Amino acid sequence: MHIAIIMDGNGRWAKAQGKTRTQGHKAGAEVVKKITQYAAQNKDIKYLTLYAFSTENWKRPKLEVEFLMKLLDNWLQQELNTYIKNEVKFEVIGDISKFSKKLQNRIEETKEKTKNFDKLTQILALNYGSRDEITRAVKKLCNKNLEITQENISKNLDTANFPDVDLLIRTSGEIRVSNFLLWQIAYAEMYFTPTLWPDFTPNELEKIIEEFKTRDRRFGGI
């Protein structure tokens, strides 16, 4: 099963708690760890894609963006042992060329050190936007003089090595997909929960998965 999550609500959680937005992002990072560990132990889950930083997030205040970059760098450094302990393969989708060389190197180092694990593949969407991804894929086809077909587009997306999404979850009560994996969620089941991301738990994820298993997926058929 491939689960994708739009992790929304860090800022609203922080405001409700009387805390800063940066504290909300820190709390959200801890939930990423818990959910990833749970997914690694759940035999039904093979891929977990998390929307961590979108192409639109650069519009946020400069200090917040800088904090998020540092948070990601520190996260990858501190959580490498967690990836290894839980046999989690780390992957990234999105255009990371806009990140600092230090952060790019950290990302590549984490990918390299976890590349042989297969219990779970965790995919972080970083500087990711689905329209940007599809545009880049079409440009690749043009550069390669390949015919623009669904198969060729799929093979040139950031997610070329991953299966399509089975279950898309968004936290915080917002009911939209926000330019996330538009191609890959064509036949995904969707679940929207009012829970803010820092309050999201493995127990709630488990209940969502059980509800997902009761759905009749027909993929356009009868």
State the Cα–Cα distance between residues 192 and 169, nearest whole angstrom.
6
Of residues 42, 57, 161, 203, which has the active-site annotation? 57
Whether 114 contacts 83, CB under 8 Å: yes
Of residues 8, 127, 158, 166, which has the active-site annotation? 8
Distance of CA 18 to the CA centre of its chain: 27
Radius of gyration of the chain (CA): 17
Which two tokens mark 93? 């989708």
How far is CA 187 from each of CA 16, 179, 181, 203, rounded to the nearest angstrom? 35, 16, 11, 25
Beta pairing partners, 168:
4, 190
Q: Which own/partner pairs from 30-35 qualify as long-range (CB within 8 Å, at least 24 positions apart)? A: 30/198, 31/7, 31/197, 31/198, 31/200, 31/201, 32/7, 32/75, 33/79, 33/82, 34/201, 34/202, 35/5, 35/200, 35/202, 35/205
127: left (phi over 0), alpha (psi -120 to 50) or beta: left
Quick check: is 95 catalytic? no
Quick check: is 8 catalytic? yes
Which two tokens mark 86? 């839980």
Active-site residue list = 8, 57
